Structure 1
Amino acid sequence: MNYNKIAKDLIPLLGGADNVISATHCATRLRLVLKDDEKATANRDKIEELDGVKGAFASSGQFQVIFGTGIVNKVYAEFAEEVGLKEKDTQDHAEAAKKKMNPFARFARTLSNIFVPIIPAIVASGLLMGLLGMVTTFGWVADDSSLVKMLNMFSSAAFIILPILLGYSAAKEFGGNPFLGAVIGGIMTHPDLLNPWGLAEANPEYMDFMGLDIALIGYQGTVVPVLLAVFVMSFIEKNLRKIVPSAVDLLVTPFVTVILTGFITLLAIGPLGNAIGSGITVVLNFVYDYGSVFAGLIFGGLYSLIVITGVHHSFHAIEAGLLAELGFNYLLPIWSMANVAQGGAGLAVYFLAKRAKTKELALPAALSAFLGITEPVIFGVNLRYRKPFIGAAIGGALGGAYVVFTNVVANAYGLTGIPMIAILVEFGTVNVVNYLIGFAIAVVGAFVATWFMGIKEEDVK
């Protein structure tokens, strides 16, 4: 594959190099911010005919071209060189993309940018919890052994210092100093504050501050309080830098920022954030408990529509809140059913298609969906033929209903498909078995639905 030729052929179809504002890439897609998206949209069919291209679409203020893992980074390197964007960084691209979004999409993108970078830490903790669960469940070592104690420390660390991780990431996104953001997270998890993470009941001491009773309770594992605190911190810091003379900025701005944010956080933001986070969890629990199978049908069937908009990463904030409040995540298994159902529909397209290029695209895209990467099969296969996407929605709804009915839960977020099994084992063999049954229901349901609806290769959209 000639990556330089692909890049050169792509540029005029995007409206020329002058139409490209910035570019970056993720695991599978070349993400472009263009001055005029219509120029690229008008040539979408031609773009999708280029060697290596698996699909193209406009979403979240970006025009995105799907190449797949292992290809997109090589195409990006040649593309950036050709259009002179080699010095552009991801932050410039993110800001350019957000300027083209509506307020809701911008908010969702902000949450996504905050939570996606910390996914590796959460996934690692989830896997370690699974390992710890296996060690204790099967009695490989004594419960009071040094191995169990160390695994417990390793697995809980990310959740205990979650406000510090979020503080750093959120400050970067809000335009503040990320290290000051980490300091605010550190204040919220200070050893002098009672650590409520993992405790069924936390009864903190109180201190008197100017006639106010302040609960000495920490915010380990919480999400909403630290996001609000760091947002306020960034606002204070940015405005201070406008008025503080440069000669004393290094001394005055951090000092005033931390002391003001610290007081505001412990007195108001922390308790308010906890109340908001708990309220969100109560609402979700109500829907989950009383909506039951119906909730699984709706969420499992509609999740892929949300993926199309590109705002699905913002759900990580809600899932992190569930982990903090409940100690488990019941939303991720539903999302996983929707993802693997897309793979089942793509597999049906592979067997139904007559064109060699369609088969070459459908099979690897379907397999990647089983591993949790759905964009190639959604945009490259199922949406192009429309009916497979509907079939995947049916499969996702059926699988979602089953995992809700059987109360399948995970101990992290960010993993779906086959890899997700590793973050299920902490909750027992039955939890894993029910997940695999739901997996099969989603894949088979999507395959059968797509098979009966069929595809017409001449009707590619």
Structure 2
Amino acid sequence: MNHQEVVKQLIPLLGGRENIVSGTHCATRLRIVLKDDQLAQTKEIEQLDGVKGAFLSSGQYQIIFGTGVVNKVYAAFAEETGLKEGNQEDHQEAVKKKMNPIARFAKTLSNIFVPIIPAIVASGLLMGLLGMMRTFEWVAPDHALIVLLDMFSSAAFIILPILIGVSAAKEFGGNPYLGAVMGGIMTHPALLNPWGLGNAEPDYLTFLGFDIALIGYQGTVIPVLLAVYAMSKIEKGLRKVVPNAIDLLVTPFVTIMLTGFISLMVIGPIGNFIGDGITTILNFVYDHVGFVAGLLFGGIYSAIVITGVHHSFHAIEAGLIASIGINYLLPIWSMANVAQGGAGLAVFFKTKRAKTKEVALPSAFSAFLGITEPVIFGVNLKYRRPFVGAMIGGALGGAYVVFMNVSAVAYGLTGIPMLAIVSPLGTINLLHYVIGFFIALVTAFVATWLLGFKEEEN
């Protein structure tokens, strides 16, 4: 394809250069913020060479080109429109301005937790390797390799507040290194480490009439989020009033001191209370109406994906792992994703249009690998009934994995890659995940085939 020519045809269909606020790209899609979304001519855009689908989601107009193509299209797009390469921060701000408050909150959490996913996934895989070594007795239980792998696998969760501190400070507009310091304060060795210490009681200090529990926040999520948010507000407020000549000395010093006191005395305990409350509610629902919850959330998760609010679930999942060591929500989301792939596969076999086949097959397999936007927006939602078929498959698959208590040790992976973070919890856990996978896939395929869909004439 001629990337330059496609871009020249694309820009007028987006309402012209004056309607384009900013643009960037991910692994498969061109992401554009438009002044007026109504000016985008979706049907005409989808007819362009190389375009596999187009849709509006989360404040962005997204055009699917596929891996290896989208970066070349974006380079031509940036040159033609005058946009600068690598303007991610400006683009994110433009995206947020177009979102409603709920979607904006979800986007904020997504921007904080998505960069941490590689560390969490690596720890989950190390846990799996460690579990296999212990189960099959590859080495002695007290072997140095067991000890080292135990350290490697738990490190990310122990220093999770530091990782969150860096990422959250970037998102909130604060200094990321001060965010890391706040995470370090909340995981300081002088504080009791609750990670793996059971019911150990912390010591107390009396300061300004307050009793401060010397308990750490290793593995927690909400306390450090609140602390870094407060830190960023304090830092930005100080920079407005502190003279530039002494800013480097005064601002970091006062920011850390004030935030440190507030965090250990107020924010930390409140954050723990909120986090424990969320975990308690989720555990109650899971233990008492889990099957129904799996049916419901497995069915509607894909609809939540359309709104973009699903990105906020990373924070809840990280909190579950920190509190109880497992993630029982991710298998439900995975079933919904797999079902979208199953519905897309049915569309591939049933459609007579070459263009639809070209999009449906790769996007279906993409869903099996955990990336669902191409098949949702490029195929299933476009024809409506396949999306309903996918919701049916996701519901049944979700109900099954909850009924069988399938869990994972990390977050961020669904579909086939999720096998790696399900296996550490045992062969039975892995087996039931695979069964749920095929229940979701086959049910969605059959439901879509039976429901049928009306194809476009063009």
Q: Give the TM-score normalised by the residue count of structure 2.
A: 0.98
Helix, strand or coil at the partner of 1:424: helix
Tell me the residue number matched to 2:232: 234
Helix, strand or coil at the partner of 2:99: coil
RMSD between aligned alpha carbons? 1.2
Q: CA deviation at 1:31?
A: 1.0
Q: CA deviation at 1:458?
A: 2.6
The farther-off stretch of 146-155 and 197-206 is 197-206
Within-5 A mapping of 1:108-257: 108-257=106-255
Q: Give, in whole Å, the separation in 2 of the partners of 1:188 and 1:357.
A: 54
Question: Which 5+ residue runs of structure 2 have no aligned equivalent?
Answer: none
Q: Give, in whole Å, the separation in 1 of the partners of 2:121 and 2:86.
A: 30
**Identity percentage of aligned residues:** 74
**Contact 1:229-1:270 within 8 A present in 2 as well:** yes
Q: CA deviation at 1:218?
A: 0.6
For residue 337 of structure 2, what is the amino acid of its counterpart? N
The farther-off stretch of 281-290 and 267-276 is 281-290
Within-5 A mapping of 1:275-290: 275-290=273-288
Tell me the residue number matched to 1:431: 429
The farther-off stretch of 201-210 and 276-285 is 201-210
**Contact 2:407-2:429 within 8 A present in 1 as well:** yes
Tell me the residue number matched to 2:8: 8
Q: Give, in whole Å, the separation in 1 of the partners of 2:11 and 2:43.
A: 14
For residue 109 of structure 1, what is the amino acid of its counterpart? K
**Contact 1:394-1:449 within 8 A present in 2 as well:** yes
Q: CA deviation at 1:202?
A: 3.4
**Contact 2:7-2:73 within 8 A present in 1 as well:** yes
**Contact 2:102-2:309 within 8 A present in 1 as well:** no
Relative distance call for 1:459 and 1:316 in structure 2 (3 A) is: farther
Q: C-alpha deviations, 1:150-181, integer Å up to 9, x for none?
A: 11111111111111110011011111111101
For residue 17 of structure 1, what is the amino acid of its counterpart? R
Within-5 A mapping of 1:1-400: 1-40=1-40, 43-87=41-85, 89-400=87-398
Q: Give, in whole Å, the separation in 2 of the partners of 1:97 and 1:392.
A: 28
- Pick the aligned partner of 1:410 from 408, 411, 431: 408
Q: CA deviation at 1:87?
A: 4.5
Helix, strand or coil at the partner of 2:211: strand
**Contact 2:338-2:368 within 8 A present in 1 as well:** yes
Q: CA deviation at 1:9?
A: 1.5
Q: C-alpha deviations, 1:409-440, integer Å up to 9, x for none?
A: 00000000001000011110000000000001
For residue 105 of structure 2, what is the amino acid of its counterpart? F
For residue 137 of structure 1, what is the amino acid of its counterpart? T
Q: C-alpha deviations, 1:102-142, integer Å up to 9, x for none?
A: 11111111111111111111111111111111111111111
Q: CA deviation at 1:200?
A: 3.1
**Contact 1:296-1:402 within 8 A present in 2 as well:** yes
Q: CA deviation at 1:210?
A: 3.1
Q: C-alpha deviations, 1:213-233, integer Å up to 9, x for none?
A: 211111011000000000000
**Contact 1:134-1:425 within 8 A present in 2 as well:** no
Q: Give, in whole Å, the separation in 2 of the partners of 1:300 and 1:70.
A: 32
Q: C-alpha deviations, 1:20-72, integer Å up to 9, x for none?
A: 111111222211111111111xx100011112212111122111112222222
Q: CA deviation at 1:201?
A: 2.4
**Contact 1:47-1:53 within 8 A present in 2 as well:** yes
Helix, strand or coil at the partner of 1:457: coil
**Contact 2:369-2:416 within 8 A present in 1 as well:** yes
Question: Which 5+ residue runs of structure 1 have no aligned equivalent?
Answer: none
- Whether 1:442 and 2:448 are equivalent positions in the alignment is no
The farther-off stretch of 340-349 and 30-39 is 30-39
Tell me the residue number matched to 1:452: 450
Q: Give, in whole Å, the separation in 1 of the partners of 2:389 and 2:85.
A: 43
Q: Give, in whole Å, the separation in 2 of the partners of 1:201 and 1:393.
A: 43
**Contact 1:385-1:459 within 8 A present in 2 as well:** no
Q: CA deviation at 1:212?
A: 2.4
For residue 295 of structure 1, what is the amino acid of its counterpart? A
**Contact 1:22-1:88 within 8 A present in 2 as well:** no
Q: CA deviation at 1:364?
A: 0.9
For residue 94 of structure 1, what is the amino acid of its counterpart? Q
Q: Give, in whole Å, the separation in 2 of the partners of 1:269 and 1:10.
A: 49
Q: CA deviation at 1:88?
A: 5.4
Q: CA deviation at 1:209?
A: 2.0
Q: Give, in whole Å, the separation in 1 of the partners of 2:445 and 2:299.
A: 14
Q: CA deviation at 1:459?
A: 7.3
Helix, strand or coil at the partner of 1:30: strand
Relative distance call for 1:104 and 1:96 in structure 2 (3 A) is: same
Q: Give, in whole Å, the separation in 1 of the partners of 2:75 and 2:35.
A: 21
**Contact 2:113-2:167 within 8 A present in 1 as well:** yes
Q: Give, in whole Å, the separation in 1 of the partners of 2:104 and 2:337.
A: 24
Q: CA deviation at 1:252?
A: 0.2
**Contact 1:163-1:220 within 8 A present in 2 as well:** yes
Q: CA deviation at 1:204?
A: 1.5
**Contact 1:352-1:455 within 8 A present in 2 as well:** no
